[in-house]
Structure 1
Amino acid sequence: MITFYSIIIFTGIAGSLITYYLNNHLKWGAVLASAFPSLLVGLFFYFFPFLVEENLAQQIPVVFIGASFVGMVSNKVLHHPIYVILAGLIFSIIYLNKAQFFNHFGGALGTSACIAVVAAIGLATVIQQKGFKKKKKEK
């Protein structure tokens, strides 16, 4: 059976990838690439909330919007969609585990997206350099 967590993670990855594709490949621009699919997802679950359980109908649009912030990244920053998938996954994990940390903190979705993108950039850098390089000792 598909669990709540797997649906949230799938939504995070899908939201980031769709926005990334619209922004970088179809050249819609970051704002439109984020806003349009988010609007569609939000309207879908507004008009058809009975298709999934109530909690999911409320959470999916929020996760999709936050993940779309991840997808707004330029392909000059995250060169390959696999890193966008990784950032979407990280965003979803942060969203699922945010607990009390972001309570009463404005911009929690954007902050979580920023953290996810920065983490993905760091991991991409480590992967591309094939690990951490040790500094040479000076004599």
Structure 2
Amino acid sequence: MIFIFKVLVCYVTYWLTYRLNHQYQLGAVKASAYLALIIGSIYQLLIALNFEIEKFRDYFLIMMGATFMGMIANVHRHQSIDFIISSIIFCTLYHNSSVYFNGLGGLLGTIACISILCVFGIERIIKLIK
């Protein structure tokens, strides 16, 4: 159940970044930066208010990674299923690799890129089969 909620959080953040980029014409970097600024501000506010934030740290990191996915998806028009598949792949990779690469910079961006590339590959394979 927790994994499904993480995928949902990833999906919503990814979709918001994508929509800010395409519908409001902010550009990929600005759309990602605005959401990342809001997410980071909320995280810092909760820390300043002495909330037990360690339980929710993964959710904030997943949201940050999802903004990277929305930024990478700039060159490709996504369908709803693309958002869902990318979010599932991202959360699976994050869950399985964050233990091994703890503290390694660029992990979220790398996982985001791999997730989007997997969706591109799946789409290409489906087109070849048809």
Contact 2:10 2:62 (8 Å CA) reproduced = yes
In structure 2, the partner of 1:11 is: 9
In structure 1, the partner of 2:108 is: 109
In structure 2, the partner of 1:30 is: 28
Aligned mates of 1:43, 1:102 — CA distance in 2: 25
2:129 paired residue among 123, 127, 132: 132
In structure 2, the partner of 1:119 is: 118
Do structure 1's residue 64 and structure 2's residue 63 form an aligned pair?
A: yes
Q: Which amino acid aligns with 2:64?
A: I
Aligned mates of 2:36, 2:121 — CA distance in 1: 27
| C-alpha spacing 1:46/1:62, structure 2 compared with 1 (3 Å) | same
Aligned-pair identity in percent equals: 30
| Number of residue pairs the alignment of both structures matches | 127
Aligned mates of 2:112, 2:129 — CA distance in 1: 25
Displacement after TM superposition at 1:103 (Å)? 4.0
Contact 1:78 1:121 (8 Å CA) reproduced = no
Contact 1:38 1:61 (8 Å CA) reproduced = no
| C-alpha spacing 1:102/1:82, structure 2 compared with 1 (3 Å) | same
Contact 1:4 1:56 (8 Å CA) reproduced = no
Displacement after TM superposition at 1:63 (Å)? 0.9
Let me know the Cα RMSD of the aligned residues: 2.4
- 5+ long unaligned stretches in structure 2: none
In structure 2, the partner of 1:137 is: none
Cα shift readout 1:21-72 (whole Å, capped 9, x = no counterpart): 111121111111111112212222332468x863343222211011111111
Contact 2:7 2:88 (8 Å CA) reproduced = yes
Cα shift readout 1:87-112 (whole Å, capped 9, x = no counterpart): 12211111111144434543101100
SS at match of 1:59: helix
Q: Where do residues 34-45 of structure 1 align in structure 2 (5 Å cutoff)?
A: 34-45=32-43
